[in-house]
Each structure stands twice: as C-alpha cells, then as structure tokens.
C-alpha cells in the first residue's frame, strides 16, 4: 500500500483507541468504514458507518467487502469472565480474519496488548519474541488473538500486524504509565506504519511511546517504519508517588485478586 490508504475498515470504532484512529485516518483514506455495536454518525463524506456485532460472521464478512485493510480494535477491553473474552475477543477476531480471507483484504491490523506479557519482571526489557506470560484472562485472550493472526498468515497468506498496545491515554495518570504510556500521536504513528509497511506476512510489535522507563524493545516498531516521539517522563513530577515499586510489569493487574473477581 502507498500513501493513499484506499478503503480501511475500523472495528470498535466507538472505543477510545477506535475514536482516535478514526479521527487520524479520516483525511488519509478514500473510504473509512466504521464498525461498532453501538450506533455511530458519519462525520465526513469519506466515512461510512455500520452497526455490526463482530460475533456475526456473515455480517462481518459483508462489511469487509472492498476493503484494502482492516484495523481490528473491537472486543472486550479488559479483565472479564473467560466466556465473555472468548466470545468477544477470540471469536470476534476469528470472524474478522475469516472475513478478510474471504474478501481478499490486503492487510489486517490486530489490536493485541502489553498485558500478554505482564508477568515478566519490571526490571527486564523484553521483545515480542519471548514467550507469552499473560497477567490474567484478558491477556490469555490476546495470546489467542495473536495465534489466530499467525495461523491466517501462515496458512492462508494474509498480511497480519499485531500491535501490543500500551497504556493509551492523553497523558499518564499513574506511575506505571511512565513505562507503559502510549500517546495518541504515537498510537496513530504505529497504526499508519502497520497499514503501509511493505512486505509483511506476520509481525508483532509493542506499540508504546519512547518512555525512558519502558519495559519493551522498540526495534521491531522502528523496522516497521515508525519511531515514537513522546516520553512519559515529562509527566513524572505531577504523578502521585508509589509506596513500593512493582515487581512485575503489569503491577496490580498481575495480582490474584484482579482475576478472582471474574471467576
């Protein structure tokens, strides 16, 4: 794909990341197809909105007709009972990938998560090549999302990019974000690179800003074509102090209590 992104479908377009991606891509595409379970209004001539449940395979496939790329952001956004995560994240992702295969879509961008490796020590810098160590059931669902992406790339030849999204916020709001923050500007930079990088069969990268205290290696993102520019360190003086430094990258998300309430 070149600088003209053609027709791009965004799932989960009403969500926080989806809304930012929608605004960022609106002027860069011929057609922006926005999918969500809630009703949306078109805000420009290039936008087309559709109310679609990602669990409806036929509706998803129909919505991907004519698409050059899909940015798949829809699903359950955090810890939840496993049946809900399997339904919303795993089945929904399968339907998007299968729809993309059937419609001949050129590139699929899957929203993965830093929570897929949340049990690694906070003292360790890691790459996407290391084995998953999910911090909860949500992280487990993202392991399955990436596995589905790899399967469809290897078996059916889809071009798939998995973005392990950091803590997407306008500005850091807690001290863990000094390592994990993903600014809106850098988020859009990663998405654009994931949509336009040539010669990709399958890759996984950490989508995180250039934080001084980050846990994750940026080399794969740079190879994809984007180097982040923002650093959470600029916000450090205004953040509340922590009594103890977390031992694990996910901090409280890795606690037993965080998941037990969903069992």
**What is the pLDDT, as a whole number, of residue 181?**
98
User: Which residues have a catalytic role annotated?
Assistant: 138
**Does residue 1 belong to any structural domain of this protein?**
no
pLDDT in tens, 143-153: 999 999 999 99
Domain extent for 13: 7-260
**Does residue 44 belong to any structural domain of this protein?**
yes
CATH number of the domain that residue 184 is part of: 3.40.50.720
- In total, how many domains does the chain have? 1
**Does residue 2 belong to any structural domain of this protein?**
no
**Does residue 189 belong to any structural domain of this protein?**
yes
What is the band of 245 on the pLDDT scale with cuts at 50, 70, 90?
Answer: confident
**Does residue 172 belong to any structural domain of this protein?**
yes
**Does residue 201 belong to any structural domain of this protein?**
yes
Nearest to 97 by CA among 131, 64, 49: 64
Is 72 in contact with 161 (CB distance < 8 Å)? no
Is 75 in contact with 112 (CB distance < 8 Å)? no
**What is the pLDDT, as a whole number, of residue 2?**
39
pLDDT in tens, 70-127: 999 999 999 999 999 999 999 999 999 999 999 999 999 999 999 999 999 999 999 9
**Does residue 110 belong to any structural domain of this protein?**
yes
- Residue appearing with tokens 């998803």: 60
- On the question of pLDDT at 7 being above 80, the answer is yes
């Amino acid at each position: 794909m070149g600088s003209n992104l053609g027709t791009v479908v965004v799932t989960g377009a009403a969500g926080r990341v989806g809304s930012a991606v929608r605004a960022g891509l609106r002027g860069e595409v011929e057609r922006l197809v926005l999918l969500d379970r809630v009703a949306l209004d078109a805000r420009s001539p290039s936008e087309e909105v559709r109310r679609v449940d990602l669990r409806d395979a036929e509706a998803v496939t129909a919505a991907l007709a004519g698409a050059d790329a899909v940015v798949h952001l829809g699903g359950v956004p955090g810890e939840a009972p496993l049946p809900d995560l399997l339904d919303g994240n795993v089945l929904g992702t399968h339907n998007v990938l299968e729809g993309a295969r059937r419609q001949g879509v050129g590139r699929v961008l899957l929203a993965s998560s830093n929570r897929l490796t949340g049990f690694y020590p906070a003292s360790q810098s890691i790459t996407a090549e290391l084995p998953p160590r999910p911090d909860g059931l949500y992280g487990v669902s993202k392991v399955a999302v990436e596995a589905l992406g790899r399967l469809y790339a290897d078996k059916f030849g889809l071009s798939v990019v998995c973005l392990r999204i950091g803590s997407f916020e306008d500005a850091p709001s807690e001290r863990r974000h000094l390592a994990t923050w993903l600014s809106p500007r850098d988020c859009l930079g990663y998405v654009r690179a994931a949509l336009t990088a040539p010669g990709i069969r399958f890759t996984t990268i950490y989508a995180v800003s250039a934080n001084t205290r980050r846990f994750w290696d940026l080399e794969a993102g740079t190879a994809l074509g984007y180097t982040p520019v923002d650093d959470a360190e600029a916000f450090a003086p205004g953040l509340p102090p922590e009594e103890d430094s977390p031992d694990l990258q996910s901090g409280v998300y890795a606690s037993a209590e965080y998941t037990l309430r969903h069992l």
